[in-house]
Structure 1
Amino acid sequence: MKFSANLAIASILLAFAASSAFAAGGNFGADKHIKAGLKCESCHGPDKKIETPEKEQCIKCHDPKKLAEKTKNVKPTNPHDSPHYHQDLECTLCHLQHEKPEIYCNQCHKFDFKMP
């Protein structure tokens, strides 16, 4: 029984350490926000109940028109001004923040956008 309790405590401590290391700075979008001085509440709300922020939350800091202008020369198409969705696509369909980014358009296409 003592071994099980020690194993449980070790597992909890390991999970806490992993989450702390994640928040301290990995290579995900959320890590970049933390390094910029933002707190989790900035995107997830004061009670942290927002699991996946909607675009309205993102555009408080990230101007869609400026992003589209910044990526206007990306080939074969501007990822922030698509022919299908223009600038209306939810940011978190590509920028997952707590996971590796995905290229939403690759559900139908084969783009190789370099995502920071």
Structure 2
Amino acid sequence: MQRKVLNALDLSQNKNKYTLLDNEYLNLPDQGFYRKCHQQFHINRGVFNTIDNWFYEYGVINVAYRRIYILAFLEFVKEDNFVPDSQKFMKFGHGGLTMKLKEFIKVNNSHSI
């Protein structure tokens, strides 16, 4: 999961010795972090809030860790749900977001996230 998050944060060329939790994107104010997600993954604020709340309810209480999960999840669904030239936002359909969140947890539980 860490590689997906690093890619999602555009850190692959970053050679500094900061840990993932020290990353500036994870420590942005809420609006700034949302804007980064919106720019990179084309999600609207409602979807962002739903994902954030879902991980909180799932038990990821620490904000920085929850943001890592959010980025990993968005990277997970990016390939399936978004065609950049044909739509403005990533779409999930009725109940689709929750289904994808559960699928993400199921897939990644075997990789011990």
Q: Do both proteins adopt the same fold according to a TM-score greater than 0.5, normalized to the shorter chain? A: no
Q: Which protein is bigger by CA-based radius of gyration?
A: 1
Q: How high is the TM-score relative to the length of structure 2?
A: 0.32
Q: How high is the TM-score relative to the length of structure 1?
A: 0.31
Higher helix share goes to which structure?
Answer: 2
Structure possessing the higher relative contact order (Cα contacts under 8 Å, 6 or more residues apart): 2
